[in-house]
């Protein structure tokens, strides 16, 4: 693996997830400041992945047309701008706009970054490489709540302006990093070919349901922790620990996908996630809810790297540019997350948190049952 490139891509997706996850400790305070309902809080969470959804396909086109490096540079510029708008915005509409802009940047960073990494990594090590990138995203998710806690203490302005500066520094490094070419020069086919591939569609299915579940978690768990007496700083620490566990799990899952295939891992992850999602409703103490959150994050974290490898290999086999493959994946993830966050908050407001968690649990279990009927050789293996 190209370690320099791995570190660079890791830094890009880490920063994106810092911006995304910073909202958790701030959500209760922002809800009070702007008078947001649970549905409004869900929209503030969900508008970020909505921006990612709308930006994913243009990012895939840009990556295929101009290459991963220019697209990564554009994403970093948008991250910096969105961070500054969020830092100094004084109305909820401005904050919605900033989150949306950062979501657009996230689409470009993940699409181009993973395509760049896949082009430079052999298929025998690709699951591990994607696992490390996913781990970097998980680390960003754990530092995001720390940024939110810092913003709660010193104000949004200084905290988010500093992260905008970090985006500029990473862009300077990216501009000096050589852009490796795809290992095989073949005529590229239309991205529509991916949507006719059962293997690629299986990978998308693996992404959709856990993404919706994470959307529900990101809205309901911070609000519940606040009701149980957790401060913004403690909520940030709890999500930090959950991200730490996910960061450890992701590269392990990626390496296992290189050794034993995808389905064995995702079956375990889906059924564990189904059970642990439902368990988030019942705790009446901060400690028990925190443990349940950490375990649930670990279960869902089992799924990202194996599905990412499956997406990359499907694109390679079908001779579709990696940028298109990860763009469609990004749009799928972001739309599912936006639906999960917004619908989860709405269901909780209408029928209580148990209704939202029950819906997410049912979907995870249903996909797990579907995966039990798949044959590993037909669904996952890619022969040279």
pLDDT in tens, 135-149: 888 788 778 878 888
Q: What's residue 293's pLDDT?
A: 93
| Three-class DSSP labels, 222-241 | HHHHHHCCCCHHHHHHHHHH
Write down how long the chain is: 384
Q: What's residue 383's pLDDT?
A: 37
pLDDT in tens, 324-348: 999 988 788 767 877 888 888 889 8
**pTM confidence score:** 0.77
Residue with tokens 């540079």: 73
* pLDDT over 70 at 13, yes or no: yes
Q: What's residue 39's pLDDT?
A: 77
Q: What's residue 41's pLDDT?
A: 80
pLDDT in tens, 29-86: 888 888 887 778 878 887 887 888 889 899 999 998 888 999 999 999 999 999 999 9
pLDDT in tens, 91-138: 888 999 999 999 999 899 999 999 998 888 877 788 888 888 888 887
Q: What's residue 281's pLDDT?
A: 92
* pLDDT over 70 at 180, yes or no: no
Residues 6+ apart with CB under 8 A from 354: 281
- Judged by DSSP in three states, 67 sits in coil
Q: What's residue 375's pLDDT?
A: 58
Domains by residue range for the chain, with CATH: 3-181+192-379 (1.20.1250.20)
- Judged by DSSP in three states, 121 sits in coil
What is the chain's Cα-based Rg?
19
The continuous run of DSSP H or E covering 44 comes out as helix 38-66
Q: What is the rounded distance in angstroms from the CA atom of residue 113 to the CA atom of residue 8?
A: 9
Question: Any idea which of 23-37, 309-323, 358-372 has the lowest mean pLDDT?
Answer: 23-37
Report residue 124 CA to chain centroid gap: 24
User: Residue 184's pLDDT band (boundaries 50, 70, 90)?
Assistant: very low
Count of Cβ atoms closer than 10 Å to residue 32 Cβ: 10
Instruction: Give CA angle at 223 (337, 50), nearest 5°.
Output: 20
Q: What's residue 156's pLDDT?
A: 83
Residues 6+ apart with CB under 8 A from 185: none
Comparing 243 with 162, which gets the higher pLDDT? 162
User: Residue 384's pLDDT band (boundaries 50, 70, 90)?
Assistant: very low
* pLDDT over 80 at 365, yes or no: yes
Q: What's residue 74's pLDDT?
A: 94
Share of the chain above pLDDT 70, in %: 94
Q: What is the mean pLDDT of residues 6-33?
A: 86
* pLDDT over 60 at 158, yes or no: yes
């Amino acid at each position: 693996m190209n370690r320099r490139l791995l570190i660079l891509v890791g830094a890009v997706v880490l920063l994106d997830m810092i911006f995304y996850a910073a909202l958790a400790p701030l959500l209760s305070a922002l809800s009070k400041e702007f008078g947001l309902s649970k549905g409004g809080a869900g929209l503030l969470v969900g508008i970020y992945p909505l921006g990612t959804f709308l930006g994913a396909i243009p990012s895939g086109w840009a990556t295929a047309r101009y290459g991963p490096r220019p697209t990564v540079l554009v994403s970093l510029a948008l991250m910096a701008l969105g961070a500054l708008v969020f830092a100094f915005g004084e109305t909820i509409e401005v904050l919605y706009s900033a989150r949306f802009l950062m979501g657009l940047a996230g689409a470009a960073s993940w699409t181009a970054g993973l395509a760049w990494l896949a082009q430079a990594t052999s298929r025998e090590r690709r699951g591990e490489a994607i696992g490390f990138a996913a781990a970097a995203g998980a680390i960003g998710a754990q530092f995001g709540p720390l940024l939110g806690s810092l913003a709660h203490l010193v104000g949004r302005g200084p905290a988010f302006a500093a992260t905008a500066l970090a985006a500029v520094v990473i862009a300077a490094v990216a501009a000096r990093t050589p852009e490796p070419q795809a290992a095989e020069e073949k005529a590229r086919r239309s991205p529509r070919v991916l949507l006719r591939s059962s293997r690629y569609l299986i990978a998308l299915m693996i992404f959709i349901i856990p993404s919706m579940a994470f959307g529900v978690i990101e809205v309901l768990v911070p609000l519940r922790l606040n009701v149980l007496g957790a401060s913004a700083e403690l909520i940030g620490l709890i999500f930090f620990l959950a991200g730490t566990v996910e960061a450890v799990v992701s590269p392990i899952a990626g390496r296992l996908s290189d050794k034993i295939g995808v389905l064995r891992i995702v079956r375990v992850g889906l059924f564990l996630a189904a059970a642990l999602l439902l368990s988030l409703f019942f705790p009446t103490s901060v400690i028990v809810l925190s443990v349940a959150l950490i375990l649930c994050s670990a279960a869902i974290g089992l799924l990202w790297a194996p599905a990412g490898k499956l997406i990359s290999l499907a694109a390679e086999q079908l001779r579709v540019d990696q940028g298109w493959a990860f763009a469609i994946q990004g749009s799928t993830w972001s739309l599912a997350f936006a639906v999960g966050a917004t619908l989860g908050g709405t269901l909780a407001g209408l029928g209580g948190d148990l209704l939202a968690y029950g819906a997410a649990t049912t979907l995870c279990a249903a996909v797990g049952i579907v995966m039990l009927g798949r044959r590993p050789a037909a669904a996952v293996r890619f022969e040279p």
